[in-house]
Chain A
Amino acid sequence: MISESFGSALDAVREINRKYNKPHIKMTRAVQLSLGLLRFYLLFLVGLLVWKFFSELHK
């Protein structure tokens, strides 16, 4: 039963991924630049948190 419900949840996720496979917004330069900057910002933040995590571990 657990594997069945887990499987159906995975199916639902796959269906969502298929449904929203492609972005519908018009990818202008401004949009691409904004999304690129957002990616960079998030990578920076995650990097900072990972660095903090490991520096705490080594204390």
Chain B
Amino acid sequence: MNLLSRLYYRHKKFWKTFRLFLMIAGPGIIVMVADNDAGGITTYSVTGAQYSFHLIWFLVLLGPVAYFVQEMTVRLGAVTKRGHAEAIFHSFGAFWGWFSLLDLVLVDWLTMITEFIGMTAALSIFGVPPVITVIGACLIMGAMVLQGKYWTWEKIALVFCVLNLIYIPAAFMIHPPIDKIIHGSFIPHLPPGGFTNGLFFLIMANIGTTIAPWMIFFQQSAVVDKGMQEKDMFWGKIDTAAGAFLTVVVAAFCVILTATLIPGLPINDAATAAHLFMGINKYVGTLLAIGLFDAGLLGAICISLASSWAFGEVFGWAHSLNQNVKQAPWFYAYYFFTLIFAGTVVLIPGAPLVLITLFVQVIAVTLLPAALVFLIILLNDEETMGKYKNNWFQNFANISIVALIIVVSTLYGISAVFQNILK
């Protein structure tokens, strides 16, 4: 009887804790899964096709990297109740504030265009014209925000996050060499051929896709809009850790897919991979195309909100998803402007889409180091953070990660501009 009552108590306690987690979970999982956006899926697909399973261990290492950076935004948002843009204006003054805001706007617009490129390419596999894809995506994203509740928006976004896991069943459908993956993919090693320029570029691309400037702005603003308090911080961290785990799992399965089905084929993007898959296994090709559309949609959902929140915070507009259009007209106007602008560019015949994709990498390099440095400084400011400031271990981990990201993303940006540098 005693054992039964103890079991019952534990069961009740577990479900109570789980329900609490479900209530607080959201921003961390969404931002991390959205990190596997159209550009991310493309990078993983190319990684798998070119280097088989040899770089999965590296993707696993990127999980903690993403967690450590994003965890800082949870603490900063919960303590200051300010989004990242507002925090920069407040702490570093107007010069750095405008620099960050305008850079964010530019990066977000350009990245949004790449998300739309991914979505239109994905649905073109099913014969859907780009104009229908763009209108459909805008309608979905519009409907998500216009219902007037942050909570509902978040739960719909979480459904799209679940859809992002589509790569897992897709990978199992093609019967990958599980033994080979388990025994040979998780121990750090170099792929056959050694350390080449091509490998270096792909490693940089994988790091570049793991931490993007919009992620920092998005999660901090989402934490504030959700009303997360200092007492919720623990669950916010678990939420972020769960998201980091999911992002690595999706990335690994994406690599497994292309490494198993199209090893050694010189593909440049995920849409090409999906086209090739359709010829080999149409079900897997279909899943990959759906996954790519979902990845682009998730990315676009988060990116458009990141800059709308940032503008709202700085200009003092009402900027919560809990407010309707009448209450926050400028917030929604900016949101829809971003959506329609990005969608329209993709539809312009002969638009320089490759140049835009290249530009994203370059502009992001100017914003990411600044956002990360501000994050570290703010997290070390006792007046701002009080007892939640970084401890020595967090500083050691975060400063090392930030230094690595700055060096690698700078090399990545420079190699995008000076393309012969790695040849």
Physical interaction between A and B: yes
Whether the pair B365, A45 counts as a contact (CB closer than 8 A) is yes
Q: Do A21 and B378 touch (CB < 8 A)? A: no
| Interchain CB contact under 8 A, A20 and B418 | no
A residues near B413, Cβ cutoff 8 Å: 45
Known interface pairs A34-B377, A38-B369. Does A48 touch B91 (Cβ–Cβ under 8 Å)?
no
- Binary B-proximity of A21-48 (CB < 8 A = 1, otherwise 0): 1111110001100110010011001101
Interface assignment of B410: CB less than 8 Å from any CB of chain A: yes
> How many of chain B's residues touch chain A, expressed as a range?
20 to 34
Q: Which residues of B contact A12 (CB under 8 A)?
A: 315
**CB of B89 closer than 8 Å to a CB of A:** yes
The complex places the Cα of A21 from the Cα of B92 at a distance, in Å, of 9
Which chain A residue lies CB-closest to B417?
Answer: A52
By the criterion CB–CB under 8 Å, are B373 and A34 in contact? yes
> Complex formed: what's the CA distance from A19 to B90 in Å?
9
Say yes or no: is B242 at the interface (Cβ < 8 Å to chain A).
no
Q: For the complex, what is the distance from the CA of A33 to the CA of B81, rounded to whole Å? A: 27
**B362: Cβ under 8 A from any A Cβ:** yes
Contact of B93 among A22, A26, A48, A52 (CB under 8 A): A22
Taking CB atoms, residues of chain B closer than 8 Å to A35 are: 92, 96, 373
Q: When the two chains form the complex, which single residue of A20, A31, A42 contacts B89, counting CB atoms closer than 8 Å?
A: A20
How many residue pairs link A and B with beta carbons under 8 A? The number is 60
A24 near B410 (CB under 8 angstroms)? no
Residues of the A chain whose Cβ atoms lie less than 8 Å from the Cβ of B373: 34-35, 38
| B370 with A21: CB separation less than 8 A | no
Q: Could you say which residues of chain A place their CB within 8 Å of the CB of B380?
A: 30
Contacts of A52 in B (CB 8 A): 417-418
A45, B366: Cβ atoms under 8 Å?
A: yes
A34 contact set on B, CB distance < 8 A: 373, 376-377
Q: Which chain A residue lies CB-closest to B103?
A: A42
CB distance from B343 to the nearest CB of A (A): 25
* B179 contacts the other chain (CB 8 A): no
Q: A25-B384, A45-B365 are in contact. Are A38 and B93 (CB under 8 A)?
A: no
Task: List chain A residues, Cβ under 8 A from B376.
Answer: 34
User: Contact mask B399-421 → A, CB, 8 Å, 1/0?
Assistant: 00000001000100110011000
Question: Is there a chain B Cβ closer than 8 Å to A16's Cβ?
Answer: yes
Q: Show the binding face of A for B, using Cβ within 8 Å.
A: 12, 16-17, 19-26, 30-31, 34-35, 38, 41-42, 45-46, 48-49, 52
| 12 extra A-B contacts, CB within 8 A, seeds A16-B89, A22-B93 | A21-B93, A23-B92, A25-B91, A25-B377, A26-B381, A31-B377, A34-B377, A41-B406, A45-B365, A45-B413, A46-B366, A49-B417
Which chain B residues have a beta carbon within 8 Å of chain A's beta carbons? 89-94, 96-97, 99, 314-315, 362, 365-366, 369-370, 373, 376-378, 380-381, 383-384, 406, 410, 413-414, 417-418
Question: What are 6 A-to-B residue pairs whose CB atoms are below 8 Å?
Answer: A16-B94, A21-B94, A23-B92, A25-B92, A41-B369, A42-B366
